[in-house]
Amino acid sequence: MAEQALIMGMGGKEPVIDADAFVAPTAVVIGEVTMSAGSSVWYHAVLRADCGPVSLGPDSNIQDNCSVHTDLGFPLTVGARVSVGHNAVLHGCTIEDDVLVGMGATVLNGAHIGAGSLVAAQALVPQGMRVPPNSLVAGVPARVKRELTAEEREGIRFNAVGYVELAKAHRQEHEG
């Protein structure tokens, strides 16, 4: 018997998942979560919107083993064409369009990542940090290192598009 994703309401709020979104078997989506067209949540990732809303923009992906959560007063918004790498943690933050959050990175409450930015693998973006658009941010605690090149920003968009296609293949495999 194939495993299924756990999708459930919480506190009277139900997830709203676009028909063109993909939720992998073993993923968990709880509460006031909105998933836009082309978005995807991968294996063993958890989107838990029990303290506030989580919004996942078009063509964005939350990869395997990620934790996405909110705090009271700290909703979580992920823009369009965002890739959140394996094992990353997003907590009550805002991620604008065309961002890559690297594997194992953590972005804390009230942090705001500007469009076209890259949060390096294992970076710790502290509470309330504002990252300007088109920035490379790395370290523990994270610091802005430099501006991304046009080629690097295009790579971020290319990665998100690749995940849209990969999600289609996984959906076809699981749903037949």
Which CATH number covers residue 128? 2.160.10.10
With respect to residue 62, please indicate whether it lies within any of the assigned structural domains.
Answer: yes
With respect to residue 53, please indicate whether it lies within any of the assigned structural domains.
Answer: yes
Q: Which of 167, 172, 174, 175 minimizes the C-alpha distance to 35?
A: 167
Q: Which structure tokens are listed for 36?
A: 């836009």
Task: Determine the Cα–Cα distance for residues 101 and 104; give it in Å rounded to an integer.
Answer: 9
Task: Determine the Cα–Cα distance for residues 6 and 17; give it in Å rounded to an integer.
Answer: 13
Q: Which domain holds residue 117?
A: 6-175
Give Cα separations from 12 to 71, 144, 166 (angstroms): 17, 40, 33
With respect to residue 1, please indicate whether it lies within any of the assigned structural domains.
Answer: no
Helices of type H across 39-105: none
For 20, which DSSP code? T
With respect to residue 134, please indicate whether it lies within any of the assigned structural domains.
Answer: yes
For residue 2, is pLDDT > 70? no
Q: pLDDT, tens digit, for every residue of 112-138?
A: 999 999 999 999 999 999 999 999 999
Q: Which residues contact 102 (CB under 8 A, 6 or more apart)?
A: 85, 88, 118, 119, 120, 121, 122, 123
Q: pLDDT, tens digit, for every residue of 78-93?
A: 999 999 999 999 999 9
Q: What percent of the chain has pLDDT over 90?
A: 94
Q: Which structure tokens are listed for 80?
A: 């369009």
Q: How many residues does the chain have?
A: 176
The answer to whether 160 and 61 have CB atoms below 8 angstroms apart is yes
pTM (two decimals): 0.95
Q: pLDDT, tens digit, for every residue of 19-73?
A: 999 999 999 999 999 999 999 999 999 999 999 999 999 999 999 999 999 999 9
* DSSP helix/strand/coil, 166: helix
Provide the domain count of the chain. Answer: 1
With respect to residue 155, please indicate whether it lies within any of the assigned structural domains.
Answer: yes
